[in-house]
């Protein structure tokens, strides 16, 4: 099969478009998360999504309509637990992560019917994305990117030096709430591309690779987005031709780019 | 009207008291050395003045306004301790970091315009680091970082400058040069300066007032009053008090000749 024929498939076009948007979103947001040492929040929230998606399937709702509000709520609770109960962030993430998985497993066992569907969410299947889901992904991606643009300087300041940002009157609590809620929405979106198990890779790997070679924050954002888009497009293409899962292929391309960036950094 | 007015403030964590019944006024143009032993509450007091901590009781007014209602944070420049503050992995350039001091003036979406960029360059130039504007802050030496952070503190043209152990990590030459710059800002622009220091050598040389803290306010007044106080000899030790007063006297004479 030649490339033009491959590109003419509408499911490939949908996967490229939705995957590209979500990749840019993950890469930009991931940079803030990695620098704030919040990389694993993607992992924790994706596990919460597992429980939320199971809940949606259990009651026969469209899973993402249940996952978006529930994961958003969990992200705020993680933030509040960290701030008010003086629990370390990783412990708070661990608690919600466990509860999410436990809830999902219990619901799956009770339902006796949707285990196959739930499994597809664990590892994602971007090639099966519908036209409606593409539009949903584009709209949410654009909204999240606009919010990041709007709060860019505050996010920059808080990420660089939180106590200084607070001393200059920036409402750091509100900025943290914005960051964590954007992450919640992004995690749910990214599940479609790489699945629950691999979603944190899309948030972490392009950002870490970009930080190896960038010479400024804006260039890091651009490079991170570029790496993420390349990994998604190449991952989808490779998965089609080699008949392997798209989520796994995207992550492996990311790992390869990360390796190259480490080598480039060492040589330069 | 004092630029800062602190009245009977108490602060603590749980049952542990950190500051007790602190009161003092800061006038425009004061250059105050905030001294005290480790754990005496110096950094906590600074945090209260910056609105980062709330006191249990008492009142703090900045330019006559209660601190919980105060929102002209561009009038206050803050230099945190370099070693404890910023994220060293963050790929921010000196120019980007210095411009952060302008954000408190801005309305959302807080975009920086040409004037802001010019002000940032001017602030970097004021501290001799304009040529480093495109370099990553994490790649600069401690002294260079300190100057970039000072440019960040000064870029909004603040009326009060608060410095938390600004000489940490600086060699003697860089430290002297740093304090000379601050002295010039204090004299030329009447900027009020409050700095925490453990280095008594800097106190006599640069400050005109001293605030000595040990959970309570032990002493607050002019250097000349401090030098005449026999009680302070007991608190500070004869050698430290003598060093401060000797340097104050020498520096004063040197400035008079000039």
Q: What is the 3-state secondary structure (H, E, C) of A70-84?
A: HHHHHHHHHHHHHHH
Q: Residue A161: which of B51, B86, B89 has the nearest Cβ?
A: B86
Domain annotation covers residue B50 = yes
The chain B residue lying nearest A149, using CA atoms, is B109
A130-144, A170-184, B199-213, B238-252: least confident range: B238-252
Structure tokens at B64: 């006559």
Domain annotation covers residue B165 = yes
Neighbours of A95 (CB within 10 A): 16
Domains: count for chain B: 1
Q: Do B103 and A168 touch (CB under 8 A)?
A: yes
For chain B, which residues lie within 8 Å of any Cβ of chain A, measuring from their own Cβ?
50-52, 71, 73-74, 76, 78, 80, 85-87, 89-93, 96-97, 100-101, 103-104, 106, 108-112, 134, 136, 152
Instruction: Encode B214-224: b = buried (16+ Cβ within 10 Å), e = exposed.
Output: bbebbbbeebe
Query: Across all residues in chain B, what is the average pLDDT?
Result: 90
Q: What is the pLDDT of residues B81-137, one digit of tens each?
A: 865 568 888 999 999 999 999 998 899 999 999 999 999 999 999 888 999 999 999
Surface of A (111-150) touching B: CB under 8 A:
149-150
Secondary structure of residue B66 in the 3-state scheme: strand
Q: What angle do CA A224, A227, A232 make, to 5 degrees?
A: 125
Domain annotation covers residue B139 = no
Secondary structure of residue B211 in the 3-state scheme: strand
Average pLDDT over every residue of B194-215:
89
Average pLDDT over every residue of B8-29:
94
Continuous segment of H or E residues that includes residue B195: strand B192-196
Cis bond before residue A164 (omega within 30° of 0): no
Q: Do A160 and B87 touch (CB under 8 A)?
A: yes
User: In angstroms, what CA-CA distances link B8 with B26, B57, B201?
Assistant: 15, 7, 30
Instruction: Give dist(CA B174, CA B133) in Å, integer.
Output: 19
User: In angstroms, what CA-CA distances link B4 with A206, B19, B29, B65, B80?
Assistant: 47, 17, 12, 9, 19
Contact list in A for residue B97 (CB cut-off 8 A) is: 160
- For the entire predicted model, the pTM comes to 0.89
In the DSSP assignment, the letter for residue B90 is: -
Q: Residue B87: which of A161, A167, A214 has the nearest Cβ?
A: A161
Domain annotation covers residue B93 = no
The residue range of the domain holding B47 is 1-63+161-169+188-258
pLDDT value of position B245: 86
CATH number of the structural domain spanning residue B21: 3.40.50.300
pLDDT value of position A267: 86
Domain annotation covers residue B15 = yes
Query: For a pLDDT cut of 90, what percent of chain A falls above it?
Result: 68
Domain annotation covers residue B3 = yes
| Contact with chain B for residue A151, Cβ under 8 A | yes
pLDDT value of position A181: 93
Contact list in A for residue B86 (CB cut-off 8 A) is: 160-161, 164
Structure tokens at A230: 């390349």
Nearest CA-CA distance, residue B71 and chain A, Å: 7
Place of tokens 């190259």: A260
B7 phi and psi angles, rounded to 5 deg: -130, 115
Given a cut of 80, is residue A175 above it in pLDDT? Answer: yes
Domain annotation covers residue B152 = no
Domain annotation covers residue B116 = no
Q: Residue B91: which of A154, A157, A220 has the nearest Cβ?
A: A220
Query: Across all residues in chain A, what is the average pLDDT?
Result: 91
The chain A residue lying nearest B149, using CA atoms, is A164
Q: What is the pLDDT of residues A37-59, one digit of tens each?
A: 888 899 999 999 999 999 999 99
| Contact with chain B for residue A155, Cβ under 8 A | no
pLDDT value of position B117: 95
Which pLDDT band holds residue B160 (cuts at 50, 70, 90)? very high
Q: What is the pLDDT of residues A100-145, one digit of tens each?
A: 999 999 998 888 767 777 878 888 888 889 999 899 889 989 999 9
A205-219, B186-200, B242-256: least confident range: B242-256
Residue B151's nearest CA partner among B176, B185, B175, B174 is B185
Q: Do B100 and A165 touch (CB under 8 A)?
A: yes
Given a cut of 80, is residue A205 above it in pLDDT? Answer: yes
DSSP per-residue string spanning chain A: --HHHHHT-HHHHHHHHHHHHHHHHHHHHHHHHHHTT-TTHHHHHHHHHHHHHHHHHHHTS-HHHHHHHHHHHHHHHHHHHHHHS---HHHHHHHHHHHHHHHHHHHHHHHSS-HHHHHHHHH--GGG--HHHHHHHHHHHHHHHHHHHHTHHHHHHHHH-HHHHHHTT--HHHHHHHHHHHHHHHHHHHHHHH-GGGHHHHHHHHHHHHHHH-SSHHHHHHHHHHHHHHHHHHHHHHHHHHT--HHHHHHHHHHHHHHHHHHHHHH-
Nearest CA-CA distance, residue B212 and chain A, Å: 23
């Amino acid at each position: 099969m030649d490339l033009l024929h491959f590109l003419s498939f509408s499911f490939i076009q949908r996967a490229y478009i939705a995957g590209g948007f979500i990749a840019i979103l993950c890469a930009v947001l991931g940079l803030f998360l990695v620098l704030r040492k919040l990389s694993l929040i993607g992992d924790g929230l994706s596990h919460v999504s597992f429980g939320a998606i199971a809940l949606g399937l259990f009651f026969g709702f469209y899973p993402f309509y249940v996952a978006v509000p529930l994961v958003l709520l969990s992200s705020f609770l993680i933030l509040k637990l960290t701030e008010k109960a003086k629990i370390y962030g990783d412990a708070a993430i661990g608690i919600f992560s466990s509860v999410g998985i436990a809830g999902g497993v219990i619901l799956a066992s009770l339902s006796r019917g949707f285990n196959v569907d739930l499994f597809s969410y664990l590892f994602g299947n971007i090639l099966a994305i519908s036209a409606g889901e593409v539009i949903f992904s584009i709209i949410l991606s654009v909204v999240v990117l606009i919010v990041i643009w709007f709060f860019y300087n505050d996010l920059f300041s808080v990420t660089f030096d939180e106590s200084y940002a607070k001393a200059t009157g920036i409402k750091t609590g509100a900025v943290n709430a914005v960051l964590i809620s954007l992450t919640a929405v992004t995690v749910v979106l990214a599940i479609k591309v790489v699945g629950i198990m691999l979603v944190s890779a899309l948030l972490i790997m392009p950002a870490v690779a970009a930080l190896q070679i960038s010479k400024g924050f804006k260039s890091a954002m651009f490079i991170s987005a570029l790496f993420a888009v390349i990994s998604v497009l190449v991952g989808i293409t490779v998965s089609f031709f080699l008949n392997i899962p798209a989520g796994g292929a995207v992550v492996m391309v990311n790992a390869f780019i990360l390796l190259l960036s480490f080598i480039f950094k060492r040589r330069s | 009207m004092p630029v800062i007015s602190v009245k009977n403030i108490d602060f603590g964590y749980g049952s542990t008291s950190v500051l007790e019944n602190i009161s003092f006024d800061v006038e425009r143009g004061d250059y105050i050395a905030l001294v005290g032993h480790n754990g005496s509450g110096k950094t906590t007091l600074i945090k209260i003045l910056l609105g980062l901590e709330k006191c249990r009781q008492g009142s703090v007014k900045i330019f006559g306004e209660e601190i919980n209602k105060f929102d002209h944070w561009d009038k206050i420049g803050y230099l945190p301790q370099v070693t404890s503050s910023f994220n060293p992995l963050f790929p921010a350039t000196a120019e980007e970091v210095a411009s952060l001091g302008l954000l408190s003036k801005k309305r959302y979406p807080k975009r920086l315009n040409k004037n802001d960029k010019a002000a940032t360059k001017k602030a970097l130039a004021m501290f001799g680091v304009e040529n480093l504007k495109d370099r990553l802050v994490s790649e600069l030496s401690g002294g260079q970082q300190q100057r970039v952070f000072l440019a960040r503190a000064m870029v909004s043209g603040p009326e009060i400058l608060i410095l938390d152990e600004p000489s940490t990590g600086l060699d003697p030459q860089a430290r002297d040069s740093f304090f000379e710059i601050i002295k010039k800002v204090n004299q030329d622009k009447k900027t009020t300066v409050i700095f925490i220091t453990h280095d008594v050598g800097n106190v006599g040389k640069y400050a005109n007032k001293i605030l000595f803290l040990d959970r309570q306010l032990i002493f607050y007044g002019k250097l000349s009053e401090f030098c005449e106080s026999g009680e302070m000899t007991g608190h500070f030790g004869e050698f430290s008090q003598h060093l401060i007063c000797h340097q104050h006297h020498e520096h004063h004479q040197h400035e008079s000749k000039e």
